[in-house]
Structure 1
Amino acid sequence: MRKELKMNYVPSCETCQRNKSATSRPSGPLHPLPVPDARCDSVAMDFIGPLPEDDGFNCILTITDRLGSDLRIVPCCTDISAKDLATIFFREWYCENGLPLEIISDRDKLFVSSFWKYLHRLTGVKLKLSTSFHPETDGASERSNRTVIQALRYHVERNQKGWARALPLVRFNHMSTVNASTGFTPFQLHCGRQPRVIPPLLHDHSSQTTEALDAAKVIERLETDIMEAQDNLLLAKMNQAYHADRARGPERVYPSGNKVMLSTFHRRRDFMQRGDHRVAKFMVRWDGPYRVHRAWPESSLYELELPGHSNIFPKFHASLMKPFIPNNNIAYPSQSHEEPEPVFDPETREDQHFMDRVLDHRRRGRGWQYLIQWKGFGAEHNKWLPGARVDNLEALDTYLKEHSLRDTS
C-alpha cells in the first residue's frame, strides 16, 4: 500500500501538483540566437522604466546591434504610442545605420500593436518576439539594460535626478569598452578605429599623418575585425550555453496533445488584488493542466491551449512547465472528474453546466467578476463570470457569507 500511494496516488493528485514547489532543475537547454551575418542586420530593442522623471523623461529605450557594433540609448516616456516609437526608431537608428533585417524584442504593448506590425510589413523587417516570461530570448537587450543601469548609478544623486543628461556619456563609455563576447569595442566595429579622447590616452604620432593611411587597408582591417568578432561571439554563445545547461535538467519533450502544468512564478499578480493583503507564499505554484497545442522541441518552445479569459501569450519555454500526471480513475475514483454532459436550456438556447462553488472575486471596471468552479470539472475549466450572471445563485450567497463580504454583484 505504501508503494502504491507513493508511486501512483500522491503523484497523480491534482492538488499536490499545483501546490508543491518544484525540486528538480528546470528543463530545456539554452538555445542561443544565431550570430548575425553583418553589422546592424539584427538589432534588439527594450525599455528601461518607469524611472524617476528627469527633464520630462521617465523611460529609456535601448537599441542594440546584436553583433556589438552600436548601441543607442534614447530617453523617452512610458506613455508614447506605437507611432512615436516608430519615429524614434527612424530618427535614432535608421538615419544612422539604415534598416535592419530583423528586430528582437519582448512582448511590450508597443511591439505587439497592429501599427508596429503593419510598419514592419511595409519595410520588410522581420519582427521576432520573445516567448512569455523568458527574457533569455532577448539576451542582448537585457545585457545592455543591465550595463546602462549600472553606469547610471554613478551619475545620479540621492534624489535620482540627472540620469537623462548622463546618457550620451554612458553611451560613449560603452562604445569605448571592449566587449567580452566579441573581443572588440563597438567603436572599432562601427568606425574601424578607436575614438580620439581628451586628453589622449596614447600619443600616437602616426595619427598626425592621416594622408599616409591606405584606405584599402583600413577597409580590409575592418572586415577582418568583423569576422573575428563573429567567431568570438559564436564561441561566447557556446560557452554561455554550456554553463547555463549545467544548471538545467535533461530535455523533456511534450508532444502535441499531452497535458502539462504551467508555473505561476511570473503570474503571481493574477492572484493578487490591490488592498486584499494577499501574500505570494500561499499562492499555488502551478496551474492547469493545459493541453499542448503545438510543439517546437528543437528550441524547447511549446504553445498551450489556455482558457479564454487568459490574456497572456500562449507560447512558453520548457523550463516553465512540468508533465501532468493523470489520475487512474479505475484505481482511485475519488480523485476522478466526471465532466458531465451539458444541460440544454430552452430559454437561452445554450448548453449549460452546473456550478459547484465560487472561488474568488475581483473588480473589473465598475462591477465585479467571480471565479466559478463547475461541478465535476477540474481547475483548468474554472472561469471568470460577471456578477450579473451569478447574482441570483446560492453559491454566490454562500461565498459572500463565508468571506464576510457584502453583496458586490
Structure 2
Amino acid sequence: MVHFIPLPKLPSAEETAEVVLHLLFRLHGFPRDILSDRGPQFVARFWKAFCNLLRATVSLSSGHHPQTNGQTERLNQELETGLRCLASRNPSSWSKHVIWVEYAHNTLPCSSSGMSPFQCAYGYQPPLFPSLQREASVPSALDLVRRCHWIWTRQALLRNSARYKKAADRHRLPAPSYQSGHRVWLSTRDLPLRVESLAMVHEGSSHVPCQSTEAAVGKHIGPSLQSPATPRFIGGGPVYTVKKLLAVRLQGRGRQYLVDWEGYGPEERSWVSARNIMDLVLIQDFHRLHPEEPGPSGAGR
C-alpha cells in the first residue's frame, strides 16, 4: 500500500517528521523501522533523534544503489509515468492527479497475492467506480466524476501493462550475503576523496559495516553522522565547521557542548562530547565568555 503526498518543495527533516506524523502514523501507527534513501532530510541529526525517540530504527539505502529500496523506486517510476500521461497538457496540475494514481495502485490486484493492497490491509475490496450511464441534475458534478473515472481507468491500464519488477529482475543476480566482520573491497569511484592519485581504483579492504574516520583542522570536528551539506575531506575523513558553542552540560564524568553548525539551521544543533572537539580553542573561548559554566580547570584563563 502506498501514500503519495504532494509537497511544494523538498522538506527539511523537521517538516518531513510533521508530514509523516499527520498523514502516515495517524493511520498506521508508529513504525519499527524506516527505510529511506540518503536524502538530506534523512541523514540530518533531527531525523535520527526523532526516530530514536519513537524507538524506530533508521535504515539508509546504499549510495548509488537504489535497488536497496527497490519497492519505492519502482513505485516512483509508476507514479512518474502516470503523472506524465495525466498532466501532460497542464503540468502544473500534477498534484491534483496524485490521489488517483494512489487509488489505482491500492485498489488493483497484485500478481503475487491476487489481492489488492487495500484488501490486504483492511480485509475487503473498496467499491470501484459505478457505471456512468445515468444523467445528473448538476453537470459539473457529472464532469468531475467522469474525469476521475477516466484518470483511474487510464492509470489502471498503465499499471497492468507495465511490468517493472519483471523487467528489472530479468537482468539481476542475487546479491552476495554480507555479514558483519567480512572483509570487502571498497570502490572509490563514487567517493568524493580529495587525494592526489592518478589511478586509484579501490581503497584497500575494509570491514562491513564501514564508518567514516574523524579528522579535524582549525575549528572543525568530525561527527559520526553525515550531514546534509557537503563536508570537506582532510586526511580521508569528513570535516565540518563549527559556527559557535552555545551551551555546556555535564554528562556522566564528562561534558557535552551544544554545537551550532556552520551552514545549518537551528534544528540541526546537537550535543557533542568534549573529547570529540579537536580544537581546544573553541572550548577556551566559550568558557572565557561564560565563566559561570562548569568547565575544565583553567579553561577560562
CA separation of 1:287 and 1:74: change in aligned 2, threshold 3 A: farther
Within 5 Å, give how 1:334-345 maps onto structure 2.
none
2:124 aligned partner: 193
| 3-state SS, counterpart of residue 131 of structure 1 | coil
- Give 1:155's match in structure 2, choosing from 57, 62, 86: 86
- Give 2:107's match in structure 1, choosing from 176, 182, 191: 176
| 3-state SS, counterpart of residue 72 of structure 1 | coil
Q: Kindly tell me the number of residue pairs found equivalent between the two proteins.
A: 192
| CA deviation vs aligned residue, 1:101-125 (integer Å, no higher than 9, x gap) | 1111011111111111111111111
Tell whether the 8 Å contact from 2:186 to 2:204 is kept in structure 1 after alignment.
no
TM-score, normalized by length of structure 1?
0.39
TM-score, normalized by length of structure 2?
0.51
| 3-state SS, counterpart of residue 128 of structure 1 | strand
1:262 to 2:190 alignment:
no
| 3-state SS, counterpart of residue 206 of structure 2 | strand
Amino acid at match of 1:102: D
1:105 aligned partner: 36
Tell whether the 8 Å contact from 2:6 to 2:95 is kept in structure 1 after alignment.
yes
Structure 1 unpaired stretches of 5+: 1-69, 202-236, 272-283, 296-301, 315-363, 373-380, 385-409
| 3-state SS, counterpart of residue 68 of structure 2 | helix
Tell whether the 8 Å contact from 1:261 to 1:287 is kept in structure 2 after alignment.
no
Spell out structure 1 runs of 4+ moving beyond 4 A.
240-243, 251-259, 304-309, 381-384
Amino acid at match of 2:7: C
2:27 aligned partner: 96
Higher relative contact order (CA 8 A, sep 6+): 1
| CA deviation vs aligned residue, 1:309-368 (integer Å, no higher than 9, x gap) | 9x9x99xxxxxxxxxxxxxxxxxxxxxxxxxxxxxxxxxxxxxxxxxxxxxxxxx9xxxx
1:289 to 2:202 alignment:
yes
CA separation of 1:383 and 1:164: change in aligned 2, threshold 3 A: closer
Within 5 Å, give how 1:169-318 maps onto structure 2.
169-199=100-130, 244-245=172-173, 260=185, 262=187, 264=189, 266=190, 287-295=200-208, 303=210
Structure 2 unpaired stretches of 5+: 133-164, 217-221, 239-301
Please give the alpha-carbon distance, in whole angstroms, between the structure 2 residues aligned to 1:164 and 1:131: 30
Structure 1 vs Structure 2: percent identity of aligned residues? 24
Tell whether the 8 Å contact from 1:257 to 1:291 is kept in structure 2 after alignment.
no
CA separation of 1:291 and 1:144: change in aligned 2, threshold 3 A: same
Within 5 Å, give how 1:55-74 maps onto structure 2.
70-74=1-5
Tell whether the 8 Å contact from 1:290 to 1:304 is kept in structure 2 after alignment.
no
Please give the alpha-carbon distance, in whole angstroms, between the structure 2 residues aligned to 1:257 and 1:190: 39
Tell whether the 8 Å contact from 2:110 to 2:117 is kept in structure 1 after alignment.
yes
Please give the alpha-carbon distance, in whole angstroms, between the structure 2 residues aligned to 1:108 and 1:143: 17
Tell whether the 8 Å contact from 2:12 to 2:41 is kept in structure 1 after alignment.
yes
CA separation of 1:242 and 1:306: change in aligned 2, threshold 3 A: farther
2:49 aligned partner: 118
1:81 to 2:6 alignment:
no
| CA deviation vs aligned residue, 1:215-251 (integer Å, no higher than 9, x gap) | xxxxxxxxxxxxxxxxxxxxxx9xx8796218x8xx6
Rg (Cα) greater in structure: 1
